[in-house]
Structure 1
Amino acid sequence: MAAEDRHADDLADAEPQVRVRHLNKRDLNRTWEFIKAVFREVNRSTVEYQRPKSKKRFLEVFDEKGIEQLLFVIRLGGKERIVGYAECALTIIGTDNWMNERYFRARDMRPLFVEELAVDPEFQGRGLGTFVLEQLEHLARLRGCTHLVLEVAENNDNALKFYRGRSFTKLDAAIFLAKKVVSDPEILPPRRLKRRDPKARTSAGVVAVTAPSEPKDMPPEG
């Protein structure tokens, strides 16, 4: 193993500092590859195949106004590595989204809609998923929102357990409602993760949510 690889592994086993930043154009391709890789892990343990939006739609989102795209990154071996991605908006986006905005208005809810959330399975159980959710709640407070709303497939047991353990409650067949947001800078400061548990399995417990897919635009996996 090369010295740089050993250095990277040492950092991963220690307490890496996760930094949050906004997605920029040069991040698009590697972020898309990251999202695909996360969903491949999710699909190892689910009956029904789950997928993120198409790459075409992912690239279109970058140019749309009103959508926040956040990257969670660490530095390993002198290089930046993506370990998390979150996408959210104040309004329901997408042409095939079935959510009914009147439902939320009638209940005086002002949601921040989480359209995509993906966390590197290698960092599962070390506080990364919690940090991502805290960042989203933080944004919701700053935007005057009262709730986080996201979609989770019924068969994604690991994700459901994760969200229920953080006060999300069920609204409908696949929609979950976060604990009410309590109303500081927009981006939270960096955070160190826990040391890796040598007994932990890194291929299970992936956290991922997605908006409804557009199957005809999906590129082949590879």
Structure 2
Amino acid sequence: MPKAKTPKPPDSLEVRVRRIHRRDLNRTWEFLKLVFRDVNRETVEYQRPRSKRRFLEVYTSEWIEQLLYEVDGSIVGYSECAFEATGDDNWVNPRWFEKRGMRPLFVEELAVHPDYQGRGVGSFMLDQLQHLARTRGCTHLVLEVAENNESALTWYRTRSFYKLDAAIFMAQKVPGEPDLLPPRRLKRRQKPTAETGTPSTGPMPETAPTRAAARKGARPRRGRRAAEAAQASHEAAARDSERRRPTQHFGVVQAG
């Protein structure tokens, strides 16, 4: 069964522009994924891909315009611009433009459906942004393009865009080293002394006498007590023997 062919856009187009509505967010996100799928893969690998959460947050942000460009109700283009450099992830310094007398309109997104490129949709979108900038008192359109996106650079240069030289991304190679040191061989085990304590504990503390040493030191005292007890027992036995011996009477003889 042959594949169904994608219908080609008609020769005569009428593109309309309007502000985005909440009901358009999901299909606009799918449109952006389609448009930037190949661009992000080939030209802007260094950039962080935009998340859907961030895209939805933009809808509620102030000073940001999101415009849809439609043909017969189908999205063929999307533009997003900001009147101020907002957001925590924004690297733009507004003072750089102030010192040069510039009041820029920052073009954050400019996307055209692949089937409608080369038919004037992009030029109409750029004219719309120029008109919006004039009505808001802005003096310049400012946008960012990847240096290796040659087709986009050519398209913008033919429409009087020029390089600002405001910022150049530079890098320096850092020699690779592991975060953790390699294994280290330990010294042979030594008997600890008072002078060779480990760094975590300091000198070896004086230890209390062990129980065995206490018993060993107590032996002389226990020996003296035993000797004294033996001597006392011997003396008591001698006295008892004297009591049991027969009594002898000595007379006094008077000399005549």
Query: TM over 0.5, yes or no?
Result: yes
**Which runs of 5 or more structure 2 residues have no equivalent in the other structure?**
169-256
Number of equivalenced pairs: 166
* 8 A Cα contact 2:15 2:71, kept in partner: yes
Tell me the percent identity: 64
TM-score (norm 2): 0.60
1:166 corresponds to which of 147, 159, 162: 159
Partner SS state of residue 119, structure 2: coil
Pair 1:132-2:132 in alignment? no
| 8 Å Cα contact 2:81-2:108 kept in structure 1 | yes
Whether 2:94 is the aligned partner of 1:97: answer no
Q: In the alignment, is the contact (CA less than 8 A) between 1:112 and 1:140 conserved in 2?
A: yes
Computing the radius of gyration from Cα coordinates, the structure with the larger value is 2
Query: What is the identity, as a one-letter code, of the residue corresponding to 1:84?
Result: G
Q: CA deviation at 1:74?
A: 0.6
Q: AA paired with 2:58?
A: V
CA distance, structure 1, for counterparts of residue 145 and residue 26 of structure 2: 25
* C-alpha distance 85-111 of structure 1, shift in aligned 2 (>3 A): same
In structure 1, distance between residues paired with 2:155 and 2:48 = 19
Which runs of structure 2 are paired with 1:4-19 in the superposition (5 Å)?
9=7, 12-19=9-16
Question: What are the ranges of 5 or more consecutive residues in structure 1 without an aligned counterpart?
Answer: 176-222
Contact 2:68 2:77 in 1 (8 A): yes
Matched ranges for 1:1-222 at <5 A: 9=7, 12-43=9-40, 45-46=42-43, 48=45, 53-75=50-72, 80-172=73-165
Asked whether the 8 Å contact 2:43–2:146 carries over to 1, the reply is: no
User: Whose relative contact order is higher, 1 or 2, with alpha carbons under 8 Å and at least 6 apart?
Assistant: 1
With over 3 angstroms needed to count, the CA separation of the structure-2 counterparts of 1:132 and 1:32, relative to structure 1, is same
Greater CA drift, 36-45 or 126-135: 36-45
Question: Structure 1 101/64 Cα, relative in aligned 2: closer, same or farther at 3 Å?
Answer: same
**Alpha-carbon distance between aligned partners in 2 of 1:33 and 1:129, rounded to the nearest angstrom:** 19
Give 2:13's aligned amino acid.
P
Contact 1:151 1:174 in 2 (8 A): no
Provide closer, same or farther for how the CA distance between residues 105 and 127 of structure 1 changes in structure 2, counting only shifts above 3 A: same
Distance of 2:159 and 2:48 partners within structure 1: 24
What amino acid sits opposite 2:10 in the alignment?
A: D
CA contact (8 A) 2:44 2:146 kept: no
Deviation beyond 6 Å, 4+ runs, structure 1: none
**2: distance between equivalents of 1:54 and 1:125?**
28
* Cα displacement (A) at 1:172: 2.4
CA–CA distance in structure 1, aligned partners of residues 103 and 60 of structure 2? 24
SS at structure 1 position matched to 2:79:
strand
Structure 1 vs Structure 2 CA RMSD = 2.3
For residues 40 and 98 of structure 1, the distance between their equivalents in structure 2, rounded to whole angstroms, comes to 24
Higher share of residues assigned strand:
1
